[in-house]
Amino acid sequence: MQALWMVLAAFLFASMGVCVKVASAYFNSAELVCYRGIIGMAILWALARSQRVKLGTHYPGMHAWRSLIGVVSLGSWFYSIAHLPLATSMTLNYMSSVWIAAFLVGGALLAWRPSSSSSRPPLQGTLVFTVMVGFAGVVMMLRPSLDQHQMFAGLIGLLSGLTAAFAYMQVMALSRLGEPETRTVFYFAVGSAVAGGAGLLLTGTSQWPGWQSLWLLPIGVLAAAGQLCLTRAYASARTSRGTLVVANLQYSGIVFAALYSVLLFGDDIPALGWAGMALIVVSGIVATVLRARAAPGAPAEEH
């Protein structure tokens, strides 16, 4: 069942991407982040109340920092969805696993000091190869977009994966302090609403489009539902092997996004782009294995 929960979560996150892409024709990224936060706040408040989880926290500064980084990642992702094929944007965001592995194992290398009694940290060769493969995939994916003036959006999409990795590291720290995931995600929704609203002071608001504004509702609902399914998947995995399988199944979201991209939006992704996508998926899976060895029992990633 944990595998089915993760596949369902990946499907919901990809479906949220569809709604974001459609709504981007009527709203800017700051508005989408703000509305997603407001809707998420309402859903998570109700969930916390049903689970009898108190929303008060002893770590407001850590939640604020996690929300700030998360909002940058979310806004960057929404921007890239609006200007890139959905499959490309989703894949660049999933590069976060490669960044996380680089941070975890790279940190061990930086902390290591050579001595006669210490052995060299393992996996650095595998790490370097994994990161190289991942970035080779990025180059292959973005190369077809050069003639379409989409390189800037591609770099923003890559930024979304990088900042998502930083946000995840903060989620790991909060999890180790005993903060419930419902509380962490709730404060992220609060941060999204506040930051998105502040962003509107710079970007302004779009003209209200009428019934098309209904696309805003499923963005928040699908994001919350996807997060709940993802949490259920990790909670149902009873062994470390099961957790690893669940973590790797998150990449099925790229498959769903690719199908949406081609069937709904008619995106023409060249063979080089598909090959780059495959390389990123492979490097992400390897990075997930490395992360599981470096930080067993880590919490789930958010999208």
For the chain of 303 residues, list the mean pLDDT of each consecutive stretch of 10: 84 95 94 94 92 91 92 94 91 83 66 60 66 80 64 88 85 84 90 93 88 93 87 69 74 90 89 88 81 58 57
Contacts of 67 (CB under 8 A, 6+ apart): 187, 188, 190, 191, 192, 195
* pTM of this structure: 0.85
Contacts of 35 (CB under 8 A, 6+ apart): 27, 196, 216, 219, 220
In this prediction, residue 227 carries a pLDDT of 82
Structure tokens at 34: 């703000």
Task: Report the 10 Å Cβ neighbour count for 152.
Answer: 12
Helices vs strands, H then E, count in the chain: 12, 0
Phi-psi region of 32 (alpha: psi -120 to 50; beta: other; left: phi over 0): alpha
Name which of 167, 172, 177 is nearest 299 in CA terms.
172
Name which of 228, 146, 199 is nearest 34 in CA terms.
199
